[in-house]
Amino acid sequence: MKFENYHIAEEIKQSLAEQGFKRPTDIQFKSIPPILKGEDVLAVAQTGTGKTAAFAIPVLHLLQERQKPKEAGEIKCLVMLPTRELAAQIAEVFEQLGKYTRLSIVCLHGGVEQAPQIEKLKYGVDVLIATPGRMFDLVSQKHIKLTKVEILILDEADQMLDMGFYKDIQDVIKFLPKHHQTLFFSATIDMKIKDLAYSIVRNPIRIQLSPKDPVSKNITHSVAFIEPDDKRAFLERLVNEHPESKMLVFVRTKVRAERVAAAMLRVNIRSLTMHSGKEQDDRVEAMTAFKNGTVQMLIATDVSARGIDIANVDYVVNYDMPEVPENYVHRIGRTGRGIQKGFAVSFCSEEEKPILAQIESYMGKAINVLDIAKKDYAQTLDLSDDNDKNWRKLMREADYQDPKKKKNKGK
Protein backbone atom coordinates (compact mmCIF):
# COMPACT_ATOMS: atom_id res chain seq x y z
CA MET A 1 0.00 0.00 0.00
CA LYS A 2 1.32 3.41 -0.98
CA PHE A 3 1.11 6.56 1.14
CA GLU A 4 -1.09 8.15 -1.54
CA ASN A 5 -3.77 5.56 -0.70
CA TYR A 6 -3.83 6.36 3.02
CA HIS A 7 -6.65 8.46 4.48
CA ILE A 8 -4.36 11.22 5.64
CA ALA A 9 -4.32 14.95 4.93
CA GLU A 10 -3.23 15.96 1.45
CA GLU A 11 -0.74 18.40 2.96
CA ILE A 12 1.07 15.49 4.62
CA LYS A 13 0.98 13.42 1.44
CA GLN A 14 2.58 16.34 -0.40
CA SER A 15 5.45 16.44 2.13
CA LEU A 16 5.93 12.66 1.91
CA ALA A 17 6.05 12.81 -1.90
CA GLU A 18 8.61 15.65 -1.86
CA GLN A 19 10.86 13.61 0.43
CA GLY A 20 10.59 10.56 -1.82
CA PHE A 21 8.58 8.43 0.61
CA LYS A 22 6.24 6.26 -1.42
CA ARG A 23 5.56 3.18 0.70
CA PRO A 24 5.56 2.75 4.50
CA THR A 25 8.18 0.71 6.32
CA ASP A 26 6.99 -2.25 8.42
CA ILE A 27 6.68 -0.23 11.62
CA GLN A 28 4.81 2.53 9.77
CA PHE A 29 2.47 0.04 8.09
CA LYS A 30 1.57 -1.51 11.45
CA SER A 31 1.43 1.68 13.54
CA ILE A 32 -0.35 4.25 11.38
CA PRO A 33 -3.84 2.60 11.21
CA PRO A 34 -4.36 2.08 14.98
CA ILE A 35 -3.00 5.56 15.77
CA LEU A 36 -5.44 7.08 13.29
CA LYS A 37 -8.22 5.21 15.12
CA GLY A 38 -7.18 6.86 18.38
CA GLU A 39 -5.90 3.69 20.01
CA ASP A 40 -2.96 3.45 22.39
CA VAL A 41 0.11 1.81 20.86
CA LEU A 42 3.04 -0.01 22.46
CA ALA A 43 5.71 -0.47 19.79
CA VAL A 44 9.13 -2.06 19.96
CA ALA A 45 11.21 -1.52 16.86
CA GLN A 46 14.92 -1.36 16.21
CA THR A 47 16.68 1.87 15.35
CA GLY A 48 16.56 2.89 11.70
CA THR A 49 13.16 1.39 10.87
CA GLY A 50 11.36 4.70 10.41
CA LYS A 51 9.53 4.71 13.73
CA THR A 52 9.56 8.51 14.09
CA ALA A 53 7.44 8.88 10.97
CA ALA A 54 5.32 5.96 12.20
CA PHE A 55 3.84 8.22 14.85
CA ALA A 56 4.46 11.66 13.30
CA ILE A 57 2.39 10.99 10.16
CA PRO A 58 -0.86 9.91 11.87
CA VAL A 59 -0.51 12.40 14.74
CA LEU A 60 -0.11 15.33 12.36
CA HIS A 61 -3.20 14.15 10.49
CA LEU A 62 -5.28 13.86 13.67
CA LEU A 63 -4.25 17.31 14.88
CA GLN A 64 -4.90 18.84 11.46
CA GLU A 65 -8.41 17.37 11.46
CA ARG A 66 -9.19 18.55 15.00
CA GLN A 67 -7.53 21.94 14.77
CA LYS A 68 -9.18 24.65 16.83
CA PRO A 69 -8.09 27.80 18.70
CA LYS A 70 -5.69 27.27 21.60
CA GLU A 71 -5.09 29.17 24.81
CA ALA A 72 -1.68 30.52 25.80
CA GLY A 73 0.56 27.65 26.88
CA GLU A 74 -1.95 25.01 25.80
CA ILE A 75 -0.43 21.83 24.32
CA LYS A 76 -2.26 19.31 22.11
CA CYS A 77 0.46 16.70 21.61
CA LEU A 78 3.44 16.19 23.92
CA VAL A 79 6.48 14.23 22.71
CA MET A 80 8.92 13.40 25.50
CA LEU A 81 12.55 12.53 24.74
CA PRO A 82 15.65 11.96 26.88
CA THR A 83 18.23 14.17 25.13
CA ARG A 84 18.56 17.52 23.36
CA GLU A 85 19.87 15.90 20.19
CA LEU A 86 16.92 13.53 19.98
CA ALA A 87 14.47 16.35 20.58
CA ALA A 88 16.01 18.36 17.74
CA GLN A 89 15.96 15.37 15.39
CA ILE A 90 12.33 14.48 16.12
CA ALA A 91 11.30 18.12 15.78
CA GLU A 92 12.92 18.22 12.35
CA VAL A 93 10.88 15.19 11.21
CA PHE A 94 7.64 16.77 12.44
CA GLU A 95 8.50 20.07 10.76
CA GLN A 96 9.34 18.40 7.44
CA LEU A 97 6.16 16.31 7.41
CA GLY A 98 3.95 19.12 8.66
CA LYS A 99 5.33 22.05 6.68
CA TYR A 100 2.18 22.39 4.53
CA THR A 101 -0.19 22.08 7.45
CA ARG A 102 -1.35 24.88 9.74
CA LEU A 103 0.10 23.17 12.82
CA SER A 104 2.53 24.79 15.23
CA ILE A 105 5.54 22.67 16.25
CA VAL A 106 7.92 23.71 19.01
CA CYS A 107 11.10 22.04 20.28
CA LEU A 108 11.93 22.62 23.93
CA HIS A 109 15.21 21.66 25.64
CA GLY A 110 17.84 23.03 27.96
CA GLY A 111 21.23 24.46 27.09
CA VAL A 112 19.74 27.55 25.42
CA GLU A 113 17.96 30.70 26.58
CA GLN A 114 14.35 30.04 27.57
CA ALA A 115 12.94 33.46 26.61
CA PRO A 116 12.58 32.65 22.86
CA GLN A 117 10.96 29.32 23.78
CA ILE A 118 8.47 31.05 26.09
CA GLU A 119 7.57 33.44 23.27
CA LYS A 120 6.62 30.48 21.05
CA LEU A 121 4.30 29.11 23.73
CA LYS A 122 2.18 32.29 23.98
CA TYR A 123 -0.41 31.23 21.43
CA GLY A 124 -0.52 27.55 22.31
CA VAL A 125 1.25 24.69 20.52
CA ASP A 126 -0.03 21.72 18.53
CA VAL A 127 3.11 19.58 18.95
CA LEU A 128 5.59 20.16 21.75
CA ILE A 129 8.78 18.09 21.54
CA ALA A 130 10.56 18.35 24.87
CA THR A 131 13.16 17.04 27.27
CA PRO A 132 11.90 16.69 30.88
CA GLY A 133 14.13 19.28 32.57
CA ARG A 134 13.24 22.38 30.55
CA MET A 135 9.62 21.30 30.20
CA PHE A 136 9.08 21.03 33.97
CA ASP A 137 10.84 24.37 34.45
CA LEU A 138 8.28 26.06 32.21
CA VAL A 139 5.37 24.09 33.67
CA SER A 140 6.33 25.36 37.14
CA GLN A 141 6.55 28.89 35.74
CA LYS A 142 3.03 28.39 34.30
CA HIS A 143 4.14 28.91 30.69
CA ILE A 144 2.99 25.39 29.76
CA LYS A 145 -0.46 23.86 30.38
CA LEU A 146 -0.66 20.08 30.07
CA THR A 147 -4.29 19.75 31.13
CA LYS A 148 -5.57 19.61 27.54
CA VAL A 149 -2.99 17.27 26.02
CA GLU A 150 -4.76 14.88 23.65
CA ILE A 151 -1.77 12.74 22.67
CA LEU A 152 1.29 11.73 24.72
CA ILE A 153 4.25 10.20 22.89
CA LEU A 154 7.15 8.60 24.75
CA ASP A 155 9.96 7.89 22.30
CA GLU A 156 13.19 6.01 23.11
CA ALA A 157 11.51 4.96 26.35
CA ASP A 158 14.28 2.50 27.22
CA GLN A 159 16.88 5.25 27.13
CA MET A 160 14.65 7.49 29.23
CA LEU A 161 14.62 4.81 31.92
CA ASP A 162 18.38 4.29 31.63
CA MET A 163 18.87 8.02 32.21
CA GLY A 164 16.67 8.04 35.31
CA PHE A 165 13.53 9.71 33.94
CA TYR A 166 11.04 7.20 35.38
CA LYS A 167 9.70 9.65 38.00
CA ASP A 168 9.53 12.45 35.42
CA ILE A 169 7.29 10.31 33.23
CA GLN A 170 5.04 9.48 36.18
CA ASP A 171 4.87 13.17 37.12
CA VAL A 172 3.79 14.15 33.60
CA ILE A 173 0.89 11.69 33.74
CA LYS A 174 -0.47 13.52 36.80
CA PHE A 175 -0.86 16.72 34.76
CA LEU A 176 -2.62 15.12 31.76
CA PRO A 177 -6.38 14.74 31.35
CA LYS A 178 -7.76 11.32 32.21
CA HIS A 179 -8.69 10.53 28.62
CA HIS A 180 -5.80 10.92 26.20
CA GLN A 181 -4.03 8.77 23.63
CA THR A 182 -0.62 7.32 24.55
CA LEU A 183 2.01 6.14 22.05
CA PHE A 184 4.91 4.29 23.63
CA PHE A 185 7.94 3.58 21.39
CA SER A 186 11.12 1.80 22.42
CA ALA A 187 14.08 0.18 20.65
CA THR A 188 14.39 -2.55 23.29
CA ILE A 189 12.05 -4.18 25.81
CA ASP A 190 12.51 -5.67 29.27
CA MET A 191 10.40 -6.10 32.41
CA LYS A 192 11.07 -2.58 33.69
CA ILE A 193 9.98 -1.05 30.39
CA LYS A 194 6.91 -3.31 30.26
CA ASP A 195 5.93 -2.27 33.78
CA LEU A 196 6.18 1.40 32.82
CA ALA A 197 4.33 0.91 29.55
CA TYR A 198 1.38 -0.93 31.05
CA SER A 199 1.08 1.65 33.82
CA ILE A 200 0.33 4.41 31.32
CA VAL A 201 -1.32 2.79 28.27
CA ARG A 202 -4.90 1.47 28.00
CA ASN A 203 -5.48 -1.78 26.12
CA PRO A 204 -2.69 -0.93 23.67
CA ILE A 205 -2.10 -2.33 20.24
CA ARG A 206 1.20 -4.19 20.63
CA ILE A 207 3.69 -4.03 17.79
CA GLN A 208 7.06 -5.74 17.91
CA LEU A 209 9.42 -6.04 14.95
CA SER A 210 12.39 -8.42 14.58
CA PRO A 211 12.42 -9.59 18.22
CA LYS A 212 15.10 -12.15 17.46
CA ASP A 213 17.39 -9.76 15.64
CA PRO A 214 17.69 -6.32 17.26
CA VAL A 215 19.81 -4.85 14.47
CA SER A 216 19.10 -3.96 10.87
CA LYS A 217 19.82 -6.58 8.23
CA ASN A 218 21.30 -3.83 6.06
CA ILE A 219 24.42 -3.63 8.24
CA THR A 220 27.58 -5.67 7.68
CA HIS A 221 29.32 -6.33 11.01
CA SER A 222 33.01 -6.99 11.58
CA VAL A 223 35.45 -6.89 14.47
CA ALA A 224 39.24 -6.53 14.46
CA PHE A 225 41.42 -7.37 17.45
CA ILE A 226 43.56 -4.29 18.01
CA GLU A 227 45.38 -3.15 21.11
CA PRO A 228 44.41 0.21 22.64
CA ASP A 229 47.52 2.17 21.63
CA ASP A 230 47.26 0.93 18.05
CA LYS A 231 43.63 1.83 17.37
CA ARG A 232 44.39 5.31 16.07
CA ALA A 233 46.62 3.90 13.31
CA PHE A 234 43.88 1.52 12.17
CA LEU A 235 41.30 4.30 12.20
CA GLU A 236 43.67 6.36 10.07
CA ARG A 237 44.01 3.44 7.66
CA LEU A 238 40.24 2.93 7.45
CA VAL A 239 39.73 6.61 6.58
CA ASN A 240 42.49 6.57 3.96
CA GLU A 241 41.03 3.45 2.34
CA HIS A 242 37.55 5.02 2.23
CA PRO A 243 38.17 8.76 1.87
CA GLU A 244 34.68 9.57 0.58
CA SER A 245 32.83 7.66 3.29
CA LYS A 246 30.98 9.32 6.14
CA MET A 247 32.16 7.81 9.44
CA LEU A 248 30.68 7.99 12.91
CA VAL A 249 33.22 6.94 15.55
CA PHE A 250 32.15 5.96 19.08
CA VAL A 251 34.41 6.19 22.11
CA ARG A 252 33.80 5.58 25.80
CA THR A 253 34.39 9.03 27.30
CA LYS A 254 34.45 12.68 26.31
CA VAL A 255 38.18 12.82 27.13
CA ARG A 256 38.78 9.94 24.72
CA ALA A 257 36.76 11.75 22.06
CA GLU A 258 39.03 14.78 22.21
CA ARG A 259 42.19 12.64 22.25
CA VAL A 260 41.12 10.64 19.19
CA ALA A 261 40.21 13.86 17.37
CA ALA A 262 43.66 15.27 18.19
CA ALA A 263 45.33 12.08 16.95
CA MET A 264 43.39 12.29 13.67
CA LEU A 265 44.35 15.95 13.25
CA ARG A 266 48.05 14.98 13.56
CA VAL A 267 47.61 12.82 10.45
CA ASN A 268 45.66 15.54 8.61
CA ILE A 269 42.24 13.95 9.10
CA ARG A 270 39.71 16.53 10.22
CA SER A 271 36.97 15.48 12.60
CA LEU A 272 34.53 16.99 15.07
CA THR A 273 33.46 15.74 18.49
CA MET A 274 30.07 15.57 20.18
CA HIS A 275 29.62 14.77 23.86
CA SER A 276 28.12 16.10 27.09
CA GLY A 277 31.10 18.39 27.68
CA LYS A 278 30.21 20.49 24.63
CA GLU A 279 28.01 23.56 24.69
CA GLN A 280 24.68 23.09 22.92
CA ASP A 281 25.62 25.48 20.10
CA ASP A 282 28.84 23.52 19.49
CA ARG A 283 26.94 20.23 19.41
CA VAL A 284 24.46 21.61 16.90
CA GLU A 285 27.30 22.99 14.79
CA ALA A 286 29.07 19.61 14.80
CA MET A 287 25.89 17.81 13.79
CA THR A 288 25.24 20.28 10.98
CA ALA A 289 28.79 20.01 9.62
CA PHE A 290 28.60 16.20 9.69
CA LYS A 291 25.17 16.21 8.11
CA ASN A 292 26.08 18.46 5.19
CA GLY A 293 29.44 16.76 4.58
CA THR A 294 31.71 19.60 5.68
CA VAL A 295 33.49 16.97 7.76
CA GLN A 296 33.44 13.25 7.06
CA MET A 297 34.11 12.08 10.62
CA LEU A 298 32.19 12.69 13.83
CA ILE A 299 33.53 11.29 17.11
CA ALA A 300 30.88 10.80 19.79
CA THR A 301 30.07 9.16 23.11
CA ASP A 302 27.13 6.88 23.91
CA VAL A 303 25.16 9.80 25.33
CA SER A 304 24.88 11.03 21.74
CA ALA A 305 24.25 7.68 20.06
CA ARG A 306 20.50 8.02 19.61
CA GLY A 307 20.59 11.72 18.93
CA ILE A 308 22.44 11.23 15.67
CA ASP A 309 19.94 10.64 12.90
CA ILE A 310 21.98 11.49 9.82
CA ALA A 311 21.32 10.09 6.37
CA ASN A 312 24.02 8.16 4.53
CA VAL A 313 26.39 7.34 7.37
CA ASP A 314 28.56 4.70 5.68
CA TYR A 315 30.56 3.44 8.65
CA VAL A 316 30.00 3.23 12.37
CA VAL A 317 33.30 2.54 14.09
CA ASN A 318 33.36 1.25 17.64
CA TYR A 319 36.76 2.67 18.54
CA ASP A 320 36.01 1.59 22.10
CA MET A 321 33.64 -1.30 22.68
CA PRO A 322 30.41 -0.16 24.39
CA GLU A 323 30.03 -0.86 28.09
CA VAL A 324 26.65 -2.60 27.70
CA PRO A 325 25.43 -4.77 24.78
CA GLU A 326 22.34 -2.65 24.13
CA ASN A 327 24.53 0.33 23.31
CA TYR A 328 26.12 -1.63 20.47
CA VAL A 329 22.66 -1.80 18.87
CA HIS A 330 22.03 1.90 19.38
CA ARG A 331 25.44 2.85 18.01
CA ILE A 332 25.34 0.82 14.83
CA GLY A 333 21.73 1.83 14.24
CA ARG A 334 23.12 5.12 12.94
CA THR A 335 24.04 3.34 9.67
CA GLY A 336 22.09 1.03 7.37
CA ARG A 337 18.92 3.06 7.89
CA GLY A 338 15.83 2.44 5.79
CA ILE A 339 17.01 0.76 2.59
CA GLN A 340 20.60 2.04 2.83
CA LYS A 341 23.53 -0.34 3.34
CA GLY A 342 25.97 0.27 6.15
CA PHE A 343 29.09 -1.09 7.84
CA ALA A 344 29.84 -1.53 11.53
CA VAL A 345 33.52 -2.01 12.38
CA SER A 346 34.62 -2.68 15.96
CA PHE A 347 38.14 -2.33 17.33
CA CYS A 348 38.38 -4.83 20.19
CA SER A 349 41.37 -5.04 22.52
CA GLU A 350 42.26 -8.10 24.60
CA GLU A 351 40.60 -6.64 27.69
CA GLU A 352 37.42 -5.85 25.74
CA LYS A 353 36.84 -9.43 24.54
CA PRO A 354 34.38 -10.22 27.38
CA ILE A 355 32.26 -7.28 26.21
CA LEU A 356 32.34 -8.66 22.65
CA ALA A 357 31.07 -12.00 23.95
CA GLN A 358 28.18 -10.25 25.70
CA ILE A 359 27.28 -8.37 22.52
CA GLU A 360 27.27 -11.56 20.46
CA SER A 361 25.10 -13.28 23.07
CA TYR A 362 22.68 -10.35 23.07
CA MET A 363 22.38 -10.41 19.26
CA GLY A 364 22.24 -14.19 19.11
CA LYS A 365 25.00 -14.45 16.53
CA ALA A 366 28.74 -14.07 16.12
CA ILE A 367 30.36 -11.01 14.57
CA ASN A 368 32.68 -11.69 11.66
CA VAL A 369 36.33 -11.44 12.71
CA LEU A 370 38.76 -9.59 10.43
CA ASP A 371 41.93 -11.62 10.55
CA ILE A 372 44.93 -9.31 10.42
CA ALA A 373 48.26 -10.97 9.65
CA LYS A 374 51.16 -9.91 11.90
CA LYS A 375 52.93 -8.41 8.90
CA ASP A 376 49.88 -6.31 7.92
CA TYR A 377 49.35 -5.25 11.53
CA ALA A 378 52.96 -4.04 11.82
CA GLN A 379 52.79 -2.37 8.42
CA THR A 380 49.68 -0.41 9.43
CA LEU A 381 51.59 1.00 12.40
CA ASP A 382 54.69 1.72 10.31
CA LEU A 383 52.76 3.56 7.62
CA SER A 384 50.88 5.80 10.03
CA ASP A 385 51.69 9.48 9.69
CA ASP A 386 51.27 9.95 13.42
CA ASN A 387 54.58 11.14 14.87
CA ASP A 388 53.81 9.24 18.06
CA LYS A 389 54.11 6.02 16.07
CA ASN A 390 57.27 6.80 14.11
CA TRP A 391 59.54 5.31 16.76
CA ARG A 392 58.18 1.86 15.87
CA LYS A 393 59.28 2.25 12.28
CA LEU A 394 62.73 3.55 13.25
CA MET A 395 63.26 0.62 15.59
CA ARG A 396 62.41 -1.87 12.87
CA GLU A 397 64.61 -0.14 10.29
CA ALA A 398 67.54 -0.25 12.72
CA ASP A 399 66.79 -3.92 13.37
CA TYR A 400 66.40 -2.95 17.01
CA GLN A 401 66.67 -5.62 19.67
CA ASP A 402 66.27 -5.39 23.42
CA PRO A 403 69.81 -5.13 24.99
CA LYS A 404 68.97 -7.90 27.42
CA LYS A 405 68.08 -10.22 24.55
CA LYS A 406 71.36 -9.39 22.77
CA LYS A 407 73.30 -10.20 25.93
CA ASN A 408 71.49 -13.52 26.33
CA LYS A 409 72.11 -14.32 22.69
CA GLY A 410 75.85 -13.78 23.18
CA LYS A 411 75.85 -16.32 25.97
Residue 364 burial class via C-beta count within 10 angstroms: exposed 0-12, middle 13-18, buried 19 and up = exposed
Element holding 240 (H helix, E strand): helix 231-241
Given a contact cutoff of 8 angstroms between Cβ atoms, the answer to whether 108 and 131 are in contact is yes
Cα 232 to Cα 114, 329, 343, 392: the distances in Å are 41, 23, 19, 14
φ, ψ of residue 349 to 5 degrees: the values are: -85, 175
Domains along the chain with CATH numbers = 3-208 (3.40.50.300), 219-396 (3.40.50.300)
Express each pLDDT in 350-399 by its tens digit: 999 999 999 998 888 899 999 999 999 999 998 887 755 554 544 444 44
For residues 186 and 108, give the distance between their C-alpha atoms in angstroms, rounded to a whole number.
Answer: 21
pLDDT of residue 236 exceeding 90, the answer is yes
Spatial contact of 82 and 301, defined as CB atoms under 8 Å apart: no
Give the mean pLDDT of 174-192. 86
Cα separation, 364 vs 58, whole angstroms = 34
CA distance 171 to 167: 6
pLDDT digits (tens, 9 = 90+) for 44-79: 877 667 889 999 999 999 999 988 878 888 999 999
Q: State the number of CA atoms in the 13 A half-sphere of 155 facing the CB.
A: 29
Query: Can you give the pLDDT at residue 390?
Result: 53
Residue 207: Cβ within 10 Å count: 19
Residue 209 is which amino acid? L
Q: What is the pTM assigned to this prediction?
A: 0.67
> Is pLDDT above 60 for 116?
yes
C-alpha–C-alpha distance, residues 157 and 152, integer Å: 12
Tell which residue, 336, 335, 318, has the closest CA to residue 327. 318
Radius of gyration over every alpha carbon of the chain, rounded to an integer in angstroms = 24
pLDDT at 47: 66
DSSP, residue by residue, 265-325: HHTT---EEESTTS-HHHHHHHHHHHHHTS-SEEEE-GGGGGG---TT--EEEESS--SSH
pLDDT tens readout for residues 2-35: 898 899 999 999 999 998 888 998 899 999 999 9
Length of the chain: 411
In order of 80, 150, 320, 328, the CA distances from 187 in angstroms are 15, 24, 22, 12
- Residues of the chain above pLDDT 70, percent: 90
Element housing 374 (H / E): helix 374-382
How high is the mean pLDDT of the chain? 86
Sign of CA dihedral 130, 165, 274, 112: positive
Dist. CA 50–CA 90, nearest whole Å: 11
